[in-house]
Chain A
Amino acid sequence: GQQLNQSPQSMFIQEGEDVSMNCTSSSIFNTWLWYKQDPGEGPVLLIALYKAGELTSNGRLTAQFGITRKDSFLNISASIPSDVGIYFCAGRRDSNYQLIWGAGTKLIIKP
């Protein structure tokens, strides 16, 4: 099925480092969402973006809705152990309530 291009696939970082990940598409979306999924759990919404160019923060997390509407970025500052997990981007076109998802970025913090 259709999926967004999400990168990197995985990240190995030291605690305290900043993290950046992104999601791109060949088509335009009107909503970009970022989720975190822990093992054995469902995705939990972190940040929702509804306007091109929008920059939104949630604690140490900051996400941006790309001006072209074809991409989005998520940054995590000063990572901590509980940030470990899989981060997913998802996009939605207003005319269709379906969410199209990326394949996820697995964040691993090196001891």
Chain B
Amino acid sequence: GAGVSQSPRYKVAKRGQDVALRCDPISGHVSLFWYQQALGQGPEFLTYFQNEAQLDKSGLPSDRFFAERPEGSVSTLKIQRTQQEDSAVYLCASSHRLNTEAFFGQGTRLTVV
């Protein structure tokens, strides 16, 4: 596709369940970002990849959050033992290279019940 694609669009998880959120960046984009957006707030940085290397994971809120991009393309954000406070929209963005502006996907809305 032409844009950043995220799946699923919506996910409802029971508390304690593990979830995996997928991001397909724009083809050829080197940089990939994950953001968390709580209701009524702006996005907050979670982690950054350059190709397959995770260069910054300082925004991940706990060790229950894990992200990977093994082949430098598709990325997965995994949340283990989900909690209610994990409910948010998770946005993925990609850019051609660092310091060029990124394009965002539509996001995955996670609701933990």
- Residue numbers of A with Cβ under 8 A of B are 1, 3-4, 6, 33, 40-45, 48, 88, 90, 94, 97-104
Is there an interface contact between B101 and A45, defined as CB atoms closer than 8 Å? yes
User: Which residues of chain A have C-beta atoms less than 8 A from B104's C-beta?
Assistant: 42-44
Nearest-CB distance from B23 to chain A (Å)? Answer: 11
The verdict on B111 contacting chain A, using a C-beta distance below 8 Å, is no
A33 touches which one: B31, B45, B59, B101 (CB < 8 A)?
Answer: B101
A8 to B107, CA, bound (A): 25
Nearest-CB distance from B49 to chain A (Å)? Answer: 11
Interface size class of B (residues with CB under 8 A): 20 to 34
Q: How many pairs, one residue from A and one from B, have CB atoms within 8 Å of each other in the complex?
A: 53
6 residue pairs of the A-B complex, CB under 8 angstroms, read A1-B59, A3-B42, A42-B105, A43-B91, A48-B101, A98-B48
User: Which residues of chain B have C-beta atoms less than 8 A from A4's C-beta?
Assistant: 42
User: Which residues of chain A have C-beta atoms less than 8 A from B1's C-beta?
Assistant: none
Is there an interface contact between B107 and A101, defined as CB atoms closer than 8 Å? no
User: Which residues of chain B have C-beta atoms less than 8 A from A101's C-beta?
Assistant: 42-44
User: Which residues of chain A have C-beta atoms less than 8 A from B98's C-beta?
Assistant: 97
Given contacts A42-B104, A44-B104, contact A88 B48 (CB under 8 A): no
Closest to B92 in A: A42
Is there an interface contact between B91 and A97, defined as CB atoms closer than 8 Å? no
The verdict on B106 contacting chain A, using a C-beta distance below 8 Å, is yes
Is there an interface contact between B56 and A98, defined as CB atoms closer than 8 Å? yes
Give the contacts of B7-48 with A (CB-CB under 8 A).
Answer: 31, 40-45, 48
User: Which residues of chain A have C-beta atoms less than 8 A from B43's C-beta?
Assistant: 43, 88, 99, 101
Given contacts A33-B101, A98-B56, A98-B59, contact A40 B106 (CB under 8 A): yes
User: Which residues of chain A have C-beta atoms less than 8 A from B44's C-beta?
Assistant: 1, 3, 101
A102 to B103, CA, bound (A): 18
Nearest-CB distance from B7 to chain A (Å)? Answer: 13
A102 touches which one: B31, B42, B101 (CB < 8 A)?
Answer: B42
Is there an interface contact between A88 and B106, defined as CB atoms closer than 8 Å? no
Nearest-CB distance from A51 to chain B (Å)? Answer: 14
